Structure 1
């Protein structure tokens, strides 16, 4: 499991582009027939991708978690970004169609992942944080989520936000998770931008074709930098950083947060005039 350390905001602008990508970008999560996990010091975040083919893939328990099983002291959010698949947890099997989600509470048995058709494999995106209590596991069907329309076509940021793991829908200790899809013709997500000092955030960009990229902007509002992201790539956003992107084609992104506050609207807005 790859281990990434925190970066002080004073050091952020001293990083070269290569170092910026090394510290904040996760690539190669969705390799057919494999699982890949990364650990980020900030909020003790674990990010992963599992893409089963013909064989079942059992979630590993990396040695640096010092646990008997992955969910021994953790909660886990899963969203399927590929074809139909299933997650088996103990005696229970959860069938997940494309864009369906699953929350697994602390103490859950080690999950096993499978695809319904190896020719169109499931792509399970994983996000996990430490948990202080146990909450029931629960499936979230994308088709049953009432999307929240945000932004406006005139400013290029019309989008629909789908909340998967949020208070009032799925109880969790600190994990908050969802999916946002840009409207046709819009390019910007989360613009105007914001930070939130009480939690970090992780973006997984998805549903991009092979010719498209997202220019992801991050850093303090007064000193922003950009990263180029492609389909299935993940960017880490510490509490002091904005997180906003503009795409060259249609795309969606999974957003996930961990920290001391689960209030979705707890944001420190960065006015457009403050950006540099």
Structure 2
């Protein structure tokens, strides 16, 4: 079963007037991992698609997605699939066996995508202009960097999978951040990047724990309270940062004008409101 929700772009002035319910309706990503279903959110931020597929012992096929306007989703798109569950298989232009934490890049024209096995598959897709080779990337093949410190509660390792230091894509840049024991903050100090949108997915969070995801303009911040396997759509004008009540990992994904991970505008602590 396939379901597709459309999210229109929201400007910062409109977002200032939103209450909690409106913020969650427009920016919260939740309930995308239902057994035997593929659930997608088609956003008007750089036409990014985020979603989930849970085969639950069946085979699920992702092919035509009407908002894309093509016969098959990858006719004019690229895709990254992240497995956050048990071992699973993805069939597209080849067959790929994925363990937890693996990321699979599928180039434009890879055909329909079939999900099987015990995986819980996080789906990201953006328009493409060229066909680059599909590639399965495991965590030991990812570039990585360590940031933060225990003293500031933000010691973390950033793993760059679909990234210029690892491989070539059209516009998707995707990675994973793991926080060290005792650290709770990610992406703080905060930044914005007006040339790219971003999407977050938090996972490996205990059922009774939560992440407070910070968003909004630097001088007009808001927050979303997220549980395990939930995330946020971050517009280009918004900060994207979070603090958890317990340990967690998150996947970050960008699409837009460039793939330069360093092309950001840092936000000073004095600016945040």
TM-score (norm 2): 0.97
Task: State the match for 1:255 in structure 2.
Answer: 252
How far apart are 1:33 and its partner, in Å?
1.7
Task: State the match for 1:243 in structure 2.
Answer: 240
How far apart are 1:124 and its partner, in Å?
0.6
Alignment equivalent of 2:87, drawn from 81, 84, 87: 84
How far apart are 1:78 and its partner, in Å?
0.8
- Provide the C-alpha distance between the structure 2 equivalents of 1:6 and 1:146, rounded to a whole number of angstroms: 32
- Provide the C-alpha distance between the structure 2 equivalents of 1:193 and 1:34, rounded to a whole number of angstroms: 35
Alignment equivalent of 2:116, drawn from 114, 117, 120: 114
Alignment equivalent of 1:14, drawn from 14, 17, 31: 17
Unaligned regions of 5+ residues in structure 2, if any? none
How far apart are 1:109 and its partner, in Å?
1.3
* SS at structure 2 position matched to 1:23: helix
Task: State the match for 1:2 in structure 2.
Answer: 5
* SS at structure 2 position matched to 1:162: strand
Alignment equivalent of 1:204, drawn from 201, 204, 207: 201
Cα shift readout 1:3-40 (whole Å, capped 9, x = no counterpart): 00111111111001100000001111111221100100
Alignment equivalent of 2:35, drawn from 32, 35, 40: 32
Alignment equivalent of 2:103, drawn from 95, 101, 104: 101
**Alpha-carbon contact 2:142-2:166 (below 8 Å) kept:** no
Q: How does 1:35-54 map to 2 (within 5 A)?
A: 35-54=38-57
- Provide the C-alpha distance between the structure 2 equivalents of 1:63 and 1:275, rounded to a whole number of angstroms: 40
Residues 145-154 or 230-239, more deviating: 145-154
How far apart are 1:146 and its partner, in Å?
4.5
Unaligned regions of 5+ residues in structure 1, if any? 116-120
How far apart are 1:145 and its partner, in Å?
2.7
The alignment's C-alpha RMSD in Å is: 0.9
* SS at structure 2 position matched to 1:133: coil
Q: How many residue pairs are counted as aligned between the two chains?
A: 270
- Provide the C-alpha distance between the structure 2 equivalents of 1:67 and 1:36, rounded to a whole number of angstroms: 18
How far apart are 1:113 and its partner, in Å?
0.6
How far apart are 1:129 and its partner, in Å?
0.4
Task: State the match for 2:159 in structure 1.
Answer: 162
- Provide the C-alpha distance between the structure 2 equivalents of 1:133 and 1:168, rounded to a whole number of angstroms: 19
Q: How does 1:82-231 map to 2 (within 5 A)?
A: 82-90=85-93, 92-115=94-117, 121-231=118-228
Task: State the match for 2:26 in structure 1.
Answer: 23
